[in-house]
Amino acid sequence: MPSGTTSHAQHIRKTLEQHHTGVVDQFYKKHAQTLRFAKDHSLALAGAVILTAAALGASHAHAFDQTRQKQQQETSSLQSFMELLTSLMASRQTLNSAEEQVVADALSKKFGLKLQVSLDGNRLNEIFGYVGKEQHLRRWPGDSLAGHDLPSAGMAPLQGAFKDFASMDQEKYYVAVQLHELPNWNRDWSTLKPWYKYRKVFVFNPVNQKGIVAVIGDAGPAKFTGKTFGGSPEVMDYLQMKDGSQKGKAVLLFVDDKQNKIALGPIESTANYLAGN
Amino acid sequence: MNYIFEDIVETQSILLIIEEHFEDAAERTHMKNLVKDTIHHKVLDLVLDELDAEHKLLLLAGIEDETQHQSLLERLKDWIEGFEDKIRFRAKEAETELIQLITVG
C-alpha cells in the first residue's frame, strides 16, 4: 500500500472498487444482447458510423438549411445502415432476437411503418427465411383464374387456410406462414387462427430493398421444403423474388396498424421522400 | 482515455474527495479512473435505454473512438430529447450515490 494512505482511504478504495464491479456487471447483463451484436459486427458498424459522421460534418458547413441537412443525415445514416443490414442478412441463416429488433427498427424508419417482431404477444416461428412462390388462391367459391392478374402462376385446387378472402387485394397480396410450426399452435389454435387470419404483415427483400404490405392468407410451406414463407404471385413479382435454385430470403414483420389505415401493396421508402424535400 | 460524456457531466465533488484522501499519484489516478468509469456506465445505461436498436448500435460502434465523440454527441442531441440535461442529472445521481457510499460506514 502506498505510504500516506489512511484507513479511511482504504475503506474508500474497497467500497468504490466493489461498487464499480457491481455497476459494470449490471450494465453488461442488462445490455448483453446489444453489446454482443455490436461486438460481432464492429467493423461493419464502424463503417456505418464513419459514413454518417461524414454526412454530419458536411452539414456543419451549411447551417442555413439545418432542417434539410438533418433529414439528409438521417437518410444517409439509414441508407448506410440498411446496406450494413443487407450484408449481414446475406451471410446469415437466422437472426438472433437483438438482430431481429434492429432490423424491425431500421425498416420501420425506412418505410414509415410501425413494424413489430411480435404483436399482441404473438410472433412467428421465424421472421427471416426463404420464400417460395405460391399459386393464386380461390378468393371465394366459383372464383376462377381468369379474374386474377399474372394467370401464368396458376391456381391452387383448394381455398386457403382461412377460406374466403374479404377483398381482392387480400388475395393479391398474401403470404403463407408456418402457423403449424408455432410452438403453441396445437394447444391454442382456436384463438391463434382468428388472430393470424389476414393479419397485416410487411415483406422486405434485402437484396433490392423493396418492401410490400401483405396479409397472412394461408398456412405453409412445409418445413421440409427448406422455405419459411410463401408469397402470392403479385408479392413475388413486386419483390423480384424467385423460387427454386434462385430462391431468396425475405424479412417478414407484423404491421402494427390497429386503425387499419395502411393499404396493402408495394410501399415506397419514406427516407427517399425526406431526401427529396 | 476520455469518456464520451466526460466534458458534459460535472462530477468534481467526488474527484476532490479522491484528491483529498489519496496522496500517491498513481493511486489517485486509479481511483479517479474508477469513479469516472462507474459514472460512465451509469450514464451510458441511461443513454442506451433512451435509444432505439439502430441508434444503440451506431453509438456503441463509435464510443471507443475519441475522434467520433463529437459527432456522436451531436447526434445524441438529435436522438434524445433533453439529452444533456438527462445525462447531467444521471451523472449527479451517480456521484451522490458514490459520496454516500464512502461517507456512510
Sketch the domain layout of chain B as residue ranges.
Answer: 12-104
pTM: 0.62
Between chains, do B58 and A48 touch, taking CB under 8 Å as contact? yes
- Contact criterion met (CB below 8 Å) for A111 and A202: yes
Contact with chain B for residue A187, Cβ under 8 A: no
Determine what percent of chain A is predicted with pLDDT higher than 90: 54
A276 CB neighbour count, 10 Å cutoff: 8
Q: According to the model, what pLDDT value does residue A34 have?
A: 82
How far is Cα B90 from Cα B105, in angstroms, rounded to an integer?
A: 24
**Each residue's pLDDT tens digit, B23-58:** 899 999 999 999 999 999 999 999 999 998 878 888
The ipTM is: 0.94
Between chains, do A46 and B65 touch, taking CB under 8 Å as contact? yes
How far is Cα A102 from Cα B1, in angstroms, rounded to an integer?
A: 29
Interface residue ranges in chain B relative to chain A, Cβ cutoff 8 Å: 17-18, 21-24, 26-27, 31, 34-35, 37-38, 41-42, 44-45, 48, 52-54, 56-58, 60-62, 65, 68, 71-72, 74-75, 78, 98, 101-102, 105
- Contact criterion met (CB below 8 Å) for B71 and A57: yes
Q: How far is B7 from chain A (nearest CA, A)?
A: 20
Q: Residues of chain A whose pLDDT is less than 50?
A: 1-4, 43, 47-68, 272-277
